[in-house]
Structure 1
Amino acid sequence: MMGDSLNFQDVVKKSILHFEAFRNISYIDILIGLAVSFGIGMFIYYIYRKTFRGVVYSYNYNVTFVLMSMITALIIMTISTNIVLSLGMVGALSIVRFRTAVKDPLDIVYMFWAISVGIAAGAKLYPVALLGSLAVGAALLFLSRRKIREQPYLLIIRHSDDSISELRIRLRQMNYQVKSKTVRKNFTELTLEMRLRDDNTAFVNELSRIEGVHDVSLINYTGDYAQ
């Protein structure tokens, strides 16, 4: 038992003081890992920009995915060379807290994607990083196109009582659900939820031409905030 304890202590001291594991690091492997993580990070950057459906596109937020992949790859390369460093890194990262609010739940998917790429690249699992990223990117492109085909909208109409009959006739031709109705002294405000395909919004102009309709607004609706 005493010999085993001393041997373990010697291993720990040797790992801390001499870092002999770092002598076996290949600079080519480091460059390849960083290059792979950067390339796939740029692929994530392109997919995020292509499929973005939010309110305001953020270039800085998108660039974060590229840097996140590279930094994660560096961390994995570092902790894979020394057991003491790996334990210390886990303890250091466990106290990190991020306070940035994520408005779109889909952004979390991109974060995990970038981290997964960095882990795979840092562990030299390049086929996993490449093939996995191609599969995830294809799935995101496919799902984003399905969303474009049919999207929910809020139709807000302000009208007077004189236009109610003609407006009802026109609205019967549409598939909608009444979300709210506000009656004021001079006008009535209707909020309708409907689904449209291929951005067919010509009916908005037709509704605005009805006598007694003050204004018509069409808002892309995601369920929790408008775009």
Structure 2
Amino acid sequence: MAENFNFQDIVKKSVLNLEAFRNISYIDVFVGLLSAFAIGMFIYWIYRKSFRGVVYSYNYNVSFVLMTMITALIIMTISTNIVLSLGMVGALSIVRFRTAVKDPLDIVYMFWAIAAGIASGAKLYPIALLGSLLIGLTLMWLSRRKIKDQPYLLIIRHSSIAADEVRQQLRKLDYRLKSKTVRKEFTEITVEIRLRDDNTAFVHDISDITGVQDASLINYTGDYAQ
């Protein structure tokens, strides 16, 4: 005679018997965590190589490795018992992260680490490894394209006698005027230019103009300058 099980019977069986914990394979746990660690280290390496911000944070980068392993551990835990999965959902719902993420690309790395941890914890190793490899290659390719055409801020402080010569030098560059400050002693202008190589000889040409007090070239990333 077939037995009819409802949701309440399944929960009771999950709580009382805990049969899933008796069938835990420590080899699968080790392989899952090892896969998560390897992918986390790959994320760590990609983030370090493709970082284009102002201040590199070692602790933030290391958190990707731990995030991948912890996510895999959570997935392996909640997949063994329905009660634990419901309890984990309730526990995570009260967690609030208040750390400000200044670079939107950092959120991509967070989701990458979480997704790789979920795939490793669910024993979907081909998806975790192949997917992480393609994502890493894509990020490296996009970061290299960004290097070829980087924006810079050129700040020039000069007197009135150098205005015409400075203007002639700027016509040779593809520039956009960002700001201009006029004082009695000098005039300071800030222009945005884009360079495809490391040829910055024009800065010396501008600084050699009579009446130019100083000329500074700063790498500009949109929100920060370095």
Q: Which residue of 2 aligns with 1:163?
A: 162
What is the RMSD computed on CA atoms of the aligned residues? 1.4
State the distance in 2 between where 1:96 and 1:123 align. Answer: 23
Equivalent positions of 1:71-90 (< 5 A) are: 71-90=70-89
1:91-137 CA-partner distances (Å, limit 9, x unpaired): 11111110111111100000000000000000000000011001000
Q: CA deviation at 1:15?
A: 1.7
Q: CA deviation at 1:4?
A: 5.7
Q: Which residue of 2 aligns with 1:25?
A: 24
Q: Which amino acid aligns with 2:85?
A: S
Equivalent positions of 1:116-127 (< 5 A) are: 116-127=115-126
State the distance in 2 between where 1:117 and 1:8 align. Answer: 31
Q: Which amino acid aligns with 2:162?
A: S
Q: CA deviation at 1:204?
A: 1.3
Q: Which residue of 2 aligns with 1:93?
A: 92
Q: Which amino acid aligns with 1:182?
A: T
> Structure 1 39/170 Cα, relative in aligned 2: closer, same or farther at 3 Å?
same
> Structure 1 8/109 Cα, relative in aligned 2: closer, same or farther at 3 Å?
closer
**TM-score where L is the length of structure 2:** 0.95
Q: Which residue of 2 aligns with 1:132?
A: 131
Q: Which runs of 5+ in 1 are unaligned?
A: none
Stretch of structure 1 that moved more, 121-130 or 217-226: 217-226
Q: CA deviation at 1:200?
A: 2.1
Q: Which residue of 1 aligns with 2:191?
A: 192
> What secondary structure, in the 3-state scheme, does the structure 1 residue paired with 2:191 have?
strand
1:158-205 CA-partner distances (Å, limit 9, x unpaired): 000011121112111111011111100100010101111122222112
**TM-score where L is the length of structure 1:** 0.94
1:45-81 CA-partner distances (Å, limit 9, x unpaired): 0000000001111111000000000000000001101
Q: Which amino acid aligns with 2:65?
A: V
State the distance in 2 between where 1:85 and 1:47 align. Answer: 34
Q: Which amino acid aligns with 2:161?
A: D
State the distance in 1 between where 2:199 and 2:97 align. Answer: 41
State the distance in 1 between where 2:180 and 2:225 align. Answer: 18
Q: CA deviation at 1:225?
A: 2.1
State the distance in 2 between where 1:55 and 1:8 align. Answer: 53
**Is 1:34–2:33 an aligned residue pair?**
yes
Give the % identical residues. Answer: 76
State the distance in 2 between where 1:165 and 1:14 align. Answer: 86
**Is 1:173–2:198 an aligned residue pair?**
no
State the distance in 1 between where 2:8 and 2:179 align. Answer: 72
State the distance in 1 between where 2:38 and 2:224 align. Answer: 34
Q: CA deviation at 1:10?
A: 4.3
Write out the 4+ residue segments of structure 1 that deviate beyond 3 Å after TM superposition.
7-11
> What secondary structure, in the 3-state scheme, does the structure 2 residue paired with 1:102 have?
coil
State the distance in 2 between where 1:198 and 1:165 align. Answer: 27
Q: Which amino acid aligns with 2:213?
A: H
